[in-house]
Amino acid sequence: MSAAASPLQKMTAGELTRRVLSKEPLFILDVRNDSDAADWQIEGEGIELINIPYFDLLEGVDAALERLPKDGDVLVVCAKEGSSKFVGGQLVEAGRSSVYYLEGGMKAWSEHLEPVLIGRLKDGGSLYQFVRIGKGCLSYMIISEGEAAVIDAVRMTDVFHRFAAEQGAVIKHTLDTHLHADHISGGRKLAEQTGGTYWLPPKDAEEVTFDYEKLEEGNVITVGNTSIEIQPVYSPGHTIGSTSFIVDNRYLLTGDILFVESIGRPDLAGKAEDWVGDLYTTLYDRYKSLPHELIVLPAHFGKITELGEGGAVFARLGDLYKHNPGLQISAEADFRRMVSENLPEHPNSYQEIRQTNMGRIDPDEERQGQMEIGPNRCAVHDK
């Protein structure tokens, strides 16, 4: 090893997240195969990335060294970390300094959650957004007077347990805005672990194998001893049961119906022709009748550009009606045409994920991680 070279260093998914959110420059060498790297990459304003497959570097890393910047940090990434540690070690042996590998690889990147404070609520309590930056999922926790409710929880439930405990709160409710198809819900598991109540829209639950509380318009779910309330608003289109929430008369949690830069897709249960009309009605009638001062908090983001200061993803409803491309089409026939022409590929393993969320299959933890690998593809205008 060159005397000037520093040893290979580890970078966690959390450390990488903070670099991305602060827009720090970082050069990434992705050593996964070409198709995996093309399907899904680490993105960010300060990120520069090249892909050279691991098998092309087994005989030496000269091809990589020629393409690396002369200075600055270099992060080597692979699927689970083993290949990146080997290639990173070779770079260090060749005299390159400031080389890191991503601990846990892209699997860890897919599973990391970053909590972000969205706001304090008017009668006390707080609303937090959990940004799953590598997958584009957004979960929420409402905390008031020692109680918590979690909305659209992902399967990494330990994060919610720890965070609630740090805030001195007990999780009393878990709610899913709809039956998810791009990731495995942690809502039912979290409720079972905490003794809380799991809520699911009944129109999405016709094939589920477990007990749940029916999440229907007219329910008012109170958190804590204050008047912080979660008011369900039936809003079909992404699924037939999709239900939004108005929280504290200030925030609109839209699930996968409306995003910051796009709208939800209606086809993941094979019923696009039926549901696209529901989607149009929800976006152009139901939501439009709501106060435009509401802050929209979606269940996903499609692009890294949707993350604002500190990593939070939100927008004022009225601003979305001015700028979101999916909200600029007045005629339903034109809307139907736009949606059908702009559907991205289906999420990886989406049918298997739906079956898991129904309780009809029970894959082990390793298989669940494999099923979720890849980008979020819940949106129209997300190609």
CATH number for the domain spanning 257: value is 3.60.15.10
Residue 1 lies in a domain: no
Q: Name the β-bridge partners of 174.
A: 150, 198
Q: Is the dihedral of CA 171, 172, 174, 177 positive or negative?
A: negative
The stretch 340-363 carries a mean pLDDT of 90
Is the same domain home to 87 and 164?
no
Is the same domain home to 195 and 264?
yes
Per-residue confidence (pLDDT) for residue 199, from 0 to 100: 97
Residue 3: is its pLDDT beyond 60? Answer: no
CATH number for the domain spanning 88: value is 3.40.250.10
% of residues, the chain, pLDDT over 70: 96
Is the same domain home to 141 and 253?
yes
Q: How far apart are the first and last CA of the chain?
A: 44
CA-to-CA dists, residue 261 to 198, 301, 328, angstroms: 30, 8, 12
Residue 99: is its pLDDT beyond 80? Answer: yes
Using 50, 70 and 90 to split pLDDT, how confident is the model at 381?
A: low
Per-residue confidence (pLDDT) for residue 269, from 0 to 100: 65
The stretch 289-303 carries a mean pLDDT of 95
> Would you say 29 and 64 are in contact if contact means Cβ atoms under 8 Å apart?
yes
What DSSP string runs through 93-161? HTT--SEEEETTHHHHHHH--EEEEEEE-TTS-EEEEEEETTTTEEEEEEEETTEEEEES-BS-HHHHH
The stretch 63-84 carries a mean pLDDT of 95
Report the alpha-carbon distance of residue 134 to residue 12 in Å, rounded: 13
Q: Which residue, 73, 108, 143, sits at the end of a domain?
A: 108
Is the same domain home to 91 and 151?
no
The stretch 319-323 carries a mean pLDDT of 97
Q: Is 137 a catalytic residue?
A: no
Which residues form the domain of 180?
Answer: 113-371
Using 50, 70 and 90 to split pLDDT, how confident is the model at 81?
A: very high
Spot the catalytic one: 13, 78, 228, 253.
Answer: 78
Look at phi and psi of residue 183 and say left if phi exceeds 0, alpha if psi is from -120 to 50, else beta: beta
Count of helices and strands (H, E) across the chain: 12, 20
Residues 6+ apart with CB under 8 A from 158: none
Least confident of 15-29, 80-94, 127-141, 368-382: 368-382
Per-residue confidence (pLDDT) for residue 69, from 0 to 100: 94
Residue 378 lies in a domain: no
Which amino acid would we find at residue 127?
L
pLDDT tens digits along 35-72: 999 999 999 999 999 999 999 999 999 999 999 999 99
Is the same domain home to 99 and 187?
no
Least confident of 2-11, 176-185, 290-299, 328-337: 2-11
Per-residue confidence (pLDDT) for residue 316, from 0 to 100: 98
Q: Residue 292 is encoded by which pair of tokens?
A: 């435009």
Our measurement of the distance from residue 154's CA atom to the centroid of its chain's CA atoms, rounded to an integer in Å, reads: 8
More confident residue, 165 or 270: 165
Q: Which of 1-5, 174-178, 268-272 has the highest mean pLDDT?
A: 174-178
> Would you say 282 and 291 are in contact if contact means Cβ atoms under 8 Å apart?
no
Per-residue confidence (pLDDT) for residue 117, from 0 to 100: 97
Is the same domain home to 100 and 210?
no
The stretch 344-364 carries a mean pLDDT of 91
Residue 383: is its pLDDT beyond 50? Answer: no
Per-residue confidence (pLDDT) for residue 211, from 0 to 100: 95
Per-residue confidence (pLDDT) for residue 2, from 0 to 100: 43
Report the alpha-carbon distance of residue 257 to residue 48 in Å, rounded: 32
Per-residue confidence (pLDDT) for residue 376, from 0 to 100: 79
Is the same domain home to 191 and 204?
yes
pLDDT, mean over the chain:
92
Is the same domain home to 119 and 94?
no
Report the alpha-carbon distance of residue 300 to residue 313 in Å, rounded: 9
Using 50, 70 and 90 to split pLDDT, how confident is the model at 267?
A: confident
Q: Is the dihedral of CA 287, 206, 357, 35 positive or negative?
A: negative
Is the same domain home to 312 and 358?
yes
Using 50, 70 and 90 to split pLDDT, how confident is the model at 5?
A: low
Q: H helices of the chain, where?
A: 13-21, 34-39, 62-65, 82-93, 105-111, 157-166, 187-194, 272-281, 317-323, 332-341, 350-357, 365-372
Residue 327: is its pLDDT beyond 50? Answer: yes
pLDDT tens digits along 103-123: 999 999 999 999 999 999 988
Residue 85 lies in a domain: yes
Q: Name the β-bridge partners of 139.
A: 130
The stretch 303-319 carries a mean pLDDT of 93
How many Cβ atoms sit within 10 Å of the Cβ of residue 11? Answer: 18
Residue 185 DSSP SS3: strand
The stretch 239-262 carries a mean pLDDT of 95
